[in-house]
Homo-oligomer: A and B are copies of this chain.
Amino acid sequence: MYRAPVDEITHTLMHVAGLKSAIGDGRFPDLGEDLVDAILAEAGKFAGDEIAPLNAIGDKNGAKLADGAVTTPPGWKELYRRWIDGGWNGLTGPEAFGGQGLPMLMSVAAVEMWNSAAFAFALGPLLTMGAIEAIDKHATDELKAKYLEKLVTGEWMGTMNLTEPQAGSDLNALKARAERAGDGSYRIFGQKIYITYGEHDFTDNIVHLVLARLPDAPAGTRGISLFLVPKFLVGDDGELGARNDAFCSGLEHKLGIHGSPTCTMIFGDGKFGDEPGAIGWLIGEENRGLACMFTMMNNARLHVGIQGVSIAEAAYQKALAYANERTQGRAPGFKGDGMSPIIGHPDVRRMLLTMKSLTQGSRAICYTCAQALDMAHVTEGDKSRKWMERASLITPIAKAFSTDAGVDVASLGVQVHGGMGFIEETGAAQLLRDARIAPIYEGTNGIQAIDLVMRKLPLSDGATVCALIADYQADADAVRASNSPELAGVADRLDRAIDDLRTATSFMLDAVRSGRQGEALAGATPYLRLFGLTASGALLARGAMAGMGEDGGEGRAALIRFAAANLLPETAGLSSTVTAGAESLEAAAAALT
């Protein structure tokens, strides 16, 4: 059973993602180290004691649809009640509406723990978090007054309605339509698919955010508007009124996250109300809906990256426990009687160390992304802009590298269990099934790689990416300067990885600047992986340097030494693929038969 790794999370927050110095610098006046510790300890306790025991039940029973109503797995509704009663939903919500307004760094740490405990359960509140953010930043005061407080407490939940059958990665093709009702409200019509927690029994009301086109809207993504469409209309007194014309017509039968209802939503077909049309209210300006969505999407992408970390951590813990317990064969050097625990076998140890390196590396990447968001918030002017650009740059890496790591680590977790890994009751297979969604949703990892190369590398004409790489170089330099025998060989390997990243980055920047779009797109995915691996190495080293001699210090040093010698060597090949792989890819249409 999952236990929150509170010490490692705290160490990463404080020493890798700079929370300790930010607190020391007075960046977060309401947050002291004691409070950080207290919140993380409580969040971890809730995750391990309350959420984790209901994970397998959710997978086995799934969410069920009957007569338009969705029943969540046994015990989940009550769990959600305990969750909001504990105040967890409002952790990062705006203080003006009852939230605690904690920094994103605290959010990612808590979100990690909840998703490790039960991904399919924790996913719902993530959507609500996104809805809160979009409403808080872009909606009218009237809408805020009516909806925000209840979303922040968790009394109501929120959803995001983007995808349609013909419009997935490409929202240009979006067809849902909106009509002005003349009274300031709108009527929404259309079908949306893959709507997470589009319908459920956790809360009395559900606040849908829906992308749709007005009749006179320009074609493409510049003609999309964002609407708030509640399941039940809300009176001026805040009381629930009539059912709105929106309902769930089907649930998907999915590979994983069975407890999370993935809904097909029908808006405005006349099932409810006097005449067809779901009543909605505009968020932001007409035709500017995508911009509103994007503010929110960056955080959502970071949170999905965190889900990758979460699954990886859960898979690592499960595999580690099994490898310590299961005996088979005699490992080299084993002195006991009979068979040795399989953790003693070098190949099993390689799997576990790879799992831990990827878990901790992607955690560090995600947390430094949260750090950049927080710093952008608490600084001003050019400083703030630079931090925001850094967050924008790291976001696609955090999303894609971490979710790929989630799948890889979960798959290694199955392998460590041998035959038991393939048996559902073990739980290792569930983690792999659950993990597999994260590289797909919230922008596929291919889309993330394109975003990284085409939109993020060119930020400030390349200065943003150069500054980040320079920070990684500083980590490598610090290792070298330390002359620490525990980190023997690490500085050399980091230098080489950073050189590979620099070479590939120059190539990519040049390709983008000179309009060689095909080359940039062809190498985007290996480039993102190269970036993620190098960042992992630098950040693992940063964490090890900060914790020398302390509890866990020896383990952190050993982990980066392992990763440097065993995982970082991949960067040379990736760099070569980025810089020399495009031509053969472009020429290979004949092979695709």
Q: Identify the A interface with B (CB < 8 A).
A: 163, 166, 168-170, 172-173, 193-194, 252-256, 320, 327-329, 332-333, 339, 343, 345-353, 356, 407, 411, 414-415, 418-419, 421-425, 429, 432-433, 436-437, 439-441, 444-446, 449-450, 489, 517-518, 521-522, 524-526, 552, 554-556, 558-559, 561-562, 564-567, 569-574, 576-577, 580-593
Contacts and interface: CB of A to CB of B under 8 A. Distances in A.
Given A170-B328, A347-B524, A411-B407, A565 B587 contact: no
Contacts of A577: 565-567, 569
B423 A436 contact: no
B346 A522 contact: yes
Contact of A346 (B332, B347, B518): B518
Contacts of A517: 332
B415 A446 contact: yes
Nearest to A522: B346
Given A255-B433, A339-B173, A525-B350, A566 B581 contact: yes
Contacts of A352: 592
A316 to B, nearest CB: 10
A343 B585 CA distance: 12
B574 A572 contact: no
Given A332-B517, A332-B518, 15 more contacts: A168-B419, A169-B418, A254-B424, A348-B446, A349-B585, A353-B592, A414-B436, A415-B444, A422-B437, A432-B436, A489-B584, A552-B593, A566-B577, A569-B573, A569-B574
Nearest to A328: B170
Number of this chain's copies in the complex: 2
A419 B440 contact: yes
A591 B572 contact: no
A445 B351 CA distance: 12
Contact of A592 (B346, B356, B444, B526): B356
Nearest to A586: B346
A526 B350 CA distance: 10
Contacts of A169: 328-329, 418
22 contacts: A166-B327, A170-B329, A172-B339, A254-B422, A349-B588, A351-B446, A353-B592, A356-B591, A414-B440, A415-B440, A415-B445, A418-B444, A554-B590, A558-B588, A561-B587, A562-B585, A566-B581, A566-B585, A569-B576, A569-B581, A570-B573, A573-B573
A407 B407 CA distance: 11
Q: Which 7 A-B pairs have the closest CB atoms?
A: A569-B573, A255-B429, A347-B446, A569-B576, A559-B591, A346-B521, A566-B581
Nearest to A518: B332
B422 A555 contact: no
A583 to B, nearest CB: 7
Contacts of A564: 584
